[in-house]
Amino acid sequence: MEQVGATSLVGTTIGAISRHIRENVLMPGDKLPSEAILSKELNVSRTVVREAFRSLAAMRIIELATGKRATVAQIDHGAMSLMIEHGVHTEQINIQQIYDVRRTIETRIVTLAAIRRSDAEATDILALAAAMRADVGEAAKLMEHDLAFHMALARASRNPVYVLIVGAFQGITRQTWPMGWKSRPTQASRDLMIATHLDIARAVVASDPQQAAASMSLHFDESVRALLTAGMS
Amino acid sequence: MEQVGATSLVGTTIGAISRHIRENVLMPGDKLPSEAILSKELNVSRTVVREAFRSLAAMRIIELATGKRATVAQIDHGAMSLMIEHGVHTEQINIQQIYDVRRTIETRIVTLAAIRRSDAEATDILALAAAMRADVGEAAKLMEHDLAFHMALARASRNPVYVLIVGAFQGITRQTWPMGWKSRPTQASRDLMIATHLDIARAVVASDPQQAAASMSLHFDESVRALLTAGMS
DNA sequence: TAGGTGAAACCTGTCTGACAGGTTTGGGGG
DNA sequence: CCCCCAAACCTGTCAGACAGGTTTCACCTA
């Protein structure tokens, strides 16, 4: 973990801080030494320690806050989201490729969610699908419900890695979702999309993994078709 | 993309640089303005620009090098690898959860690889499986062949997002692989593992997606069993 | 004229010292 | 025993400096 760009002082400092976290078995929320102490211990200037901190903070490995000491961070998809957006904007990734990954991942997610979801999660998921139907007239709200729906499913799968991956696609999805929506101009096509989400939610509530996976598959069939209609080839 | 911690100067500077990349449609390899120019344009000190650069470099959105100007970076899994390792070390993620994701992802990958692989990729994949058999006595080499094998499959899927995700698990896999290997002490169990890889490779070479997916599934069945035997519960 | 070469200009990496705020802590007073 | 406040601590940002690494371009050579 500490061999990253070990040629520069900042690189070795990043390594030293990572090692410090691992060797002292620091858990999320635990405090790291102050910049001054680290710079003294590692024999580098505070500038170098600060740049190392910034790097680790960018990867959400630590968390910074003014006045407070740096702390070990909880896993978070923010950084991954930015990386994916960058990949799409620089034409290294296209939207269909993301949809293929999402379909693969999310089909597995609903299968697990249908098996593992708590009652509270089931209620939550159904409520989000219902909220989509209620806000069908307001695209912005609808989109947020949609995103929250998929995140809720990921959480219900009880596997944080799925949460991470679904979260990683949220940033770019927020930018492309409206395109998909515009390609569903008729009431019927819009109702269909909402109905599909309700189907997924009901299957998860009914603890029916097969049905849940089938509905999710249908959802992606429909979404990819909408995207292609919108001219995203 | 630019709302990240927009409260601090560094945060807004990160946003400004991201926007600059997008608005000028910079592609990987393209140069960014120098620190001096940016600090003048954005009315912040060079310190702030440097910390912003470090953040973006940590996410592999830009690339830094002494003497040269910063450039837009190619997508790379290094940062994700570190994030996953951090998640595991801080007990936010466990190995089985990673294996569930890998199984899901890699089953899809071989399906695509069997369909889309070029002849060169097919040769490469088969060669890596053969190299595993040849180096069965040297764990370190064997592990690297194994990792390279899975990466080669991901590339053959022709979807960079799969490459990214498989790559993201490499760091932690390197740390846990020896455990799985130790739990296969007999010649028979080791031969089985190698044979499974060869099965996958042959199915991809034969352009048989069903068989490839089935073999990959078997591979993960076997790996998870080995991991559980090793006491990773 | 084509090509090479070297100095100047440019650029990043690191250090030092300084100061404005935000946060934590410990002691003293009620 | 609790509360409050000042001191100590800590991070965010700035300016200036200097050691190298890189690029550029004019000039000289063949």
Give tens-digit pLDDT for B176-195: 999 989 888 889 999 999 99
- Which tens digits make up the pLDDT trace of A156-201? 999 999 999 999 999 999 999 999 899 888 899 999 999 999 999 9
What residues 183-222 of chain A have any CB closer than 8 A to a CB of chain B?
none
Interchain pair B104, A100: CB under 8 A? no
Q: Do A55 and B58 touch (CB under 8 A)?
A: yes
Confidence of residue B27 (pLDDT cuts 50, 70, 90): very high
Statement: residue B1 has pLDDT above 70: no
DSSP code, position A34: P
Cβ within 8 Å of residue A147, ≥6 positions away: A170, A173, A174, A177
**Residues in chain A within 8 Å Cβ distance of B79:** 58-59, 79, 83
Question: Band of the pLDDT at B6, cuts 50, 70, 90?
Answer: low
Asked if A82 lies within 8 A of B28 by C-beta distance, the reply is no
Segments in B117-208 forming alpha helices (H): 119-134, 139-156, 160-168, 170-182, 187-205
From A186's Cα to the closest Cα of chain B, the distance in A is 31
Neighbours of B77 (CB within 10 A): 20
A70: nearest nucleotide, CA–C1' criterion: D11
Residues 6+ apart with CB under 8 A from B11: B4, B5
Q: Which of A99, A102, A92, A106 is nearest to B160 (CA)?
A: A92
- Interface probe, candidates B3, B18, B101, chain A, greatest A C-beta count within 10 A: B101
Q: How far is CA A218 from the centre of its chain?
A: 22
Q: What is the pLDDT of residue B77?
A: 97
HSE on the CB side for A88, CA within 13 Å?
23
pTM: 0.93
Over chain B, what is the mean pLDDT? 94
pLDDT band, very low/low/confident/very high, at A36 (cuts 50, 70, 90): very high
* pLDDT-derived band at B213, boundaries 50, 70, 90: very high
Q: pLDDT (tens digit, 9 = 90+) per residue, A39-77? A: 999 999 999 999 999 999 999 999 999 999 999 999 999
Per-residue burial over B24-42, b = 16 or more CB atoms within 10 Å of its CB, e = otherwise: eebebeeebbebeebbeeb
Q: What is the pLDDT of residue A233?
A: 55
Give me chain A's average pLDDT, please: 94
pLDDT score of A6: 58
